[in-house]
């Protein structure tokens, strides 16, 4: 080995040492567990930290990338290089007037969508070393107030009913549960489906079958998020009037003959009784009446009975 090759080896050694030491001079520290709400701003919170002996560090380049499912499908969202920042719409530095002396390189996502859910890479070059780190964003979306529909639409308790409840716009997958007016849980008798919609959010639908003879007066459909937190609910009241109305109508049509028959009997009894009373009265009046009054009574348009009485009296 001659001196030249020893020299090259030595140099090589120094370069490697410098690089590995450089890594310890510069670090990018990211907050773990970044959470974003669908439709709102979210932040990937990262700062560059340098060893104490480095005074006034300067950032030369920053690149924020969203990791794709494959390594080569990373999408570049923000690049700072040679004093210029290039951004994809909807992304910027969280610090509003960021410059190369600002170690807070947090990325702000202005309107969080489900596509923002996932892993990110952040590359930083400074005048005292380079660093690359990874962080992630977990996007959640709140479920909307559920809606209830019944089939058939009008609940009569003469036929079985299927209640269907649905809630859209949530993430991750949640759950719909059913309760009656006593807060008894009927979820076990229901069937739920979760469907991923185009915007990457879930639509939850649940069907609860009710037997005509065991329908309660109120059903509540509650939507819970993936961690079991209650998000919203909707109640369906089944009014008693609807029930009794239905029952009355049925009685009238089914049992009309049963009701009419006794009515006829009672009615004729009452009519007979009244007739008997009238006849009694007539007899008692006839005993005390004087005959001559009868003609004037008839002219004045008096009672038929009085007229008859007159006729009877004169015959
Ligand atoms: C970085 O800047 C953002 C926006 O000003 C701020 O909300 C965040 O707390 C900062 N991060 C750190 C670690 O200081
Ligand atoms: C679920 O709801 C609870 C209570 O409202 C909330 O604290 C939690 O962050 C929510 N979880 C998700 C994944 O949305």
* Centroid of ligand 2 to alpha carbon of 228 (angstroms): 7
Q: Rounded to an integer, what distance in angstroms lies between the CA atom of residue 218 and that of residue 132?
A: 58
Tell me the C-alpha to C-alpha distance, in Å, between residue 306 and each of 33, 160, 289, 291: 105, 66, 10, 10
* pLDDT tens column, 64-111: 999 987 766 899 999 999 999 999 999 999 999 999 999 999 999 999
pLDDT in tens, 5-32: 545 544 444 444 455 554 468 999 999 9
Instruction: State the pLDDT at residue 289.
Output: 56
The verdict on the CB of residue 130 being under 6 Å from ligand 1 is no
From the CA of 170, give the closest atom in ligand 2.
14
Determine the pLDDT at residue 24.
Answer: 66
Task: Compare 18 and 198 and report the one with higher pLDDT.
Answer: 198
Distance CA 298, CA 295 (A): 5
**Helix axis angle, 304-314 relative to 240-288, nearest 10°?**
30
Mean pLDDT lowest among 158-162, 282-286, 294-298: 294-298
Q: Which long-range contacts (CB under 8 A, 24 or more apart) does 228-235 make?
A: 231/142, 231/143, 231/170, 231/174, 232/143, 232/144, 232/145, 232/146, 232/167, 233/145, 233/146, 234/145, 234/146, 234/147, 234/148, 234/165, 235/148
Mean pLDDT lowest among 204-213, 220-229, 241-250: 241-250
**What separation in Å is there between the alpha carbon of 33 and the centre of ligand 2?**
14
Q: Rounded distance, CA 263 to CA 271, Å?
A: 12
- Cα(104) to ligand 1 centroid in Å equals 6
Q: In this structure, are residues 273 and 281 in contact, taking their beta carbons and an 8 Å threshold?
A: no
23 vs 124: CA distance, rounded Å: 11
Residue 180 reports pLDDT greater than 80? yes
pLDDT tens track for 62-72? 999 999 877 66
Place of tokens 């170690």: 103
């Amino acid at each position: 080995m001659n001196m030249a090759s020893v020299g090259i080896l030595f140099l090589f050694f120094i370069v490697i040492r410098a690089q590995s030491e450089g890594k310890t001079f510069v670090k990018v520290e990211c907050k773990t567990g970044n959470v974003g709400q669908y439709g709102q701003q979210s932040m990937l919170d990262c700062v560059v930290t340098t060893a104490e002996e480095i005074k006034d560090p300067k950032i030369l380049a920053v690149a924020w990338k969203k990791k794709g499912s494959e390594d080569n499908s990373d999408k570049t969202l923000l690049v700072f290089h040679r004093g210029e920042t290039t951004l994809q719409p909807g992304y910027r530095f969280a610090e509003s007037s960021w410059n190369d002396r600002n170690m807070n390189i947090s990325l702000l996502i202005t309107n969080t969508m489900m596509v923002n859910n996932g892993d990110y890479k952040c590359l930083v070059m400074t005048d005292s070393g380079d660093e690359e780190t990874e962080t992630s964003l977990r996007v959640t979306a709140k479920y909307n107030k559920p809606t209830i529909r019944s089939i058939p639409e009008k609940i009569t308790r003469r036929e079985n009913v299927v209640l269907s409840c649905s809630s859209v716009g949530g993430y991750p997958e949640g759950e719909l549960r059913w309760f009656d007016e006593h807060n008894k849980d009927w979820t076990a008798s229901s069937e739920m489906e979760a469907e991923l919609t185009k915007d990457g959010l879930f639509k939850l639908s649940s069907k609860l079958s009710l037997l005509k003879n065991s329908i309660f007066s109120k059903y509540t459909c509650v939507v819970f998020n993936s961690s079991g937190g209650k998000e919203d609910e909707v109640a369906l009241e089944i009014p008693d009037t609807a029930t009794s109305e239905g029952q009355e109508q049925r009685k009238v049509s089914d049992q009309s003959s049963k009701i009419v028959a006794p009515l006829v009997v009672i009615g004729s009894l009452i009519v007979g009784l009244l007739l008997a009373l009238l006849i009694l009265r007539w007899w008692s009046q006839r005993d005390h009446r004087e005959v001559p009054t009868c003609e004037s009574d008839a002219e004045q348009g008096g009672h038929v009975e009085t007229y008859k009485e007159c006729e009877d009296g004169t015959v």
